[in-house]
Amino acid sequence: MTMSDAMNGKKPPTGIRLTEQQQRARRARSIAIAVSLGVLVVLFYIVTLVKGPGVLERPL
Amino acid sequence: MTVTVARVEPSIAGVGDYIELMKPRVMSLVVFTALVGLLIAPGHVHPVIGLTALLCIAVGAGAAGALNMWYDADIDARMARTAARPIPAGRLAPGEALAFGLTLATGAVVVLGLLVSVFAAVLLALTIAFYVVIYTMWLKRTTPQNIVIGGAAGALPPIIGWTAVTGSFAVEPLLLFLIIFFWTPPHFWALSLYRTEDYARAGIPMLPVVAGPSETRRQILLYTLFLAPLGAAPWILGYAGPSYGITALVTGAVMIALAFRVRAEGRGQMANKHLASKQMFAFSILYLFLLFAMLLVDRMSGGLFGQIFGQIFGDVSSHFAA
């Protein structure tokens, strides 16, 4: 932190700071989770269309 | 009281590492055998429901693979074949694999139960539990019969596929179960013959480590002699046509021939030390694939080959009758 930052009242960043590689990996994982959840939503939607109102009727 | 908390570094695991956790190659064979169980089952299933069942079985298999890698990270690190897996290589923390595996397992079982069949979902849950708890946590480190009993987990997918359609159980999927069950020991023991040092270093009591290579070669032959006629059983019992029967007999004969070569190899009658074992391992994969593929072709062609053969033999017999 420079003297001018201190005078302007800026605080130094605290907590965990991710490296470039960690940020890239997290972003890729987040996208993969989003895609998986999207697939699940679409799957339930299509199965509802296919089965009609008795969506939860199934063989034992 | 002071509690020390280890500092956990933010993860660098990529999507590829998570996919690797799911053992994609094992998963592909699981999906294929489940597909055959699903397609040969009597009755009709909507393609979307069939695909949902396959997706759940695939994800369930992936979950079992991830949980296996979580528990076995210590042995994986000591074996050349597995040292580069995500956890021993340090790309993924064990806790991440555990959370991933549990999430996938729960998701796969719940979705299969909600959308397809409760019976199939229960079987999938049992399969995952059997593979992770009975095989990975217990048998693998304690007995040379580990893969014999553990093989049941790998043999269940065709039954799950079948029950996804019918919601019940029958002899036909049981035959498919038995074929994979008796195929597993010769398949893995052939591999373990040329990976014995790896298994010994990791402290896994595989048969060649505990009973020696000569006993392993004898067991491979015994299991193969039982497997070959079992492979032809769906045809003998009338569940499949002659095209399947011929494939099963020919490939079964090759399996037996290879098993004899593996036995001869142990007596020092072969120039290359492990050639026959490697051939046996490679061909066993093709063998299982061909059996299931032919079962599918036979059923999909509506027994077309059977009709052609029936026509030819019918003509011949009527010719003699006249």
Structural domains in chain B, CATH included, are 15-169 (1.10.357.140), 170-304 (1.20.120)
Closest chain B C-alpha to A43 CA, distance in angstroms: 8
Q: Is pLDDT of A17 > 50? A: yes
**Domain boundaries along the sequence of chain A:** 18-49
Residue with more model confidence, B308 or A45: A45
What element of type H or E holds B97? helix B94-115
Cβ distance A50 to B46 less than 8 Å, yes or no, reads: yes
The pLDDT score that the predictor gives to residue B303 is 54
From chain A, pick out residues whose CB is under 8 angstroms from the CB of B46. Answer: 50-51
Nearest-by-CA chain B residue for A29: B15
pLDDT confidence of residue A60: 63
- Of B13, B46, B119, which is closest to A60 when you measure between CB atoms? B119
Q: What is the pLDDT of residue B307?
A: 56
In this prediction, residue B322 carries a pLDDT of 46
d(CA A24, CA B137): 34
* Residues of chain B with a CB closer than 8 angstroms to some CB in chain A: 10-15, 18, 46, 48-49, 52, 55, 107, 111, 114-119, 166-168
Check if the interface score ipTM surpasses 0.90: no
Q: Find out whether B35 and B160 touch, Cβ atoms under 8 Å.
A: no
Instruction: Give the nearest chain A residue to B168 (CA atoms).
Output: A60
Cβ atoms of B109 and B121 closer than 8 Å? yes
Tokens of B288: 């299982």
Residue indicated by tokens 């019969």: B145
SS in 3 state form for B27-92? HHHHHHHHHHHHHHCCCCCCHHHHHHHHHHHHHHHHHHHHHHHHHCHHHHHHCCCCCCCCCCCCCC
Whole-model pTM? Answer: 0.86
Alpha-carbon distance of B225 to B257, in angstroms, equals 10
pLDDT tens digits, one per residue of B37-66: 999 999 888 999 999 999 999 999 999 999
Asked if residue A57 has pLDDT above 80, the reply is no
Run of H or E residues at B247: helix B242-266
CA–CA distance, A9 with A12 (Å, rounded to integer): 10
- Dist CA B277 CA B186 (whole Å): 10
Q: Considering CB atoms only, which of B12, B49, B118 is closest to A60?
A: B118
Residue A6, pLDDT score: 56
Residue of A51, A58, A60 best to disrupt the B interface, most CBs of B under 10 A: A58
Q: Which tens digit of pLDDT belongs to each residue from B286-300?
A: 999 999 999 999 888
**Which pLDDT score, from 0 to 100, does residue B143 have?**
94
pLDDT tops 90 at residue A32: yes
Q: What is the mean pLDDT of each run of 10 residues along chain B (322 residues)?
A: 62 93 94 94 90 97 97 94 93 95 98 93 97 96 94 95 91 95 96 92 93 94 97 94 95 97 81 85 96 91 59 54 48
Contact check, Cβ <8 Å, B114/A43: no
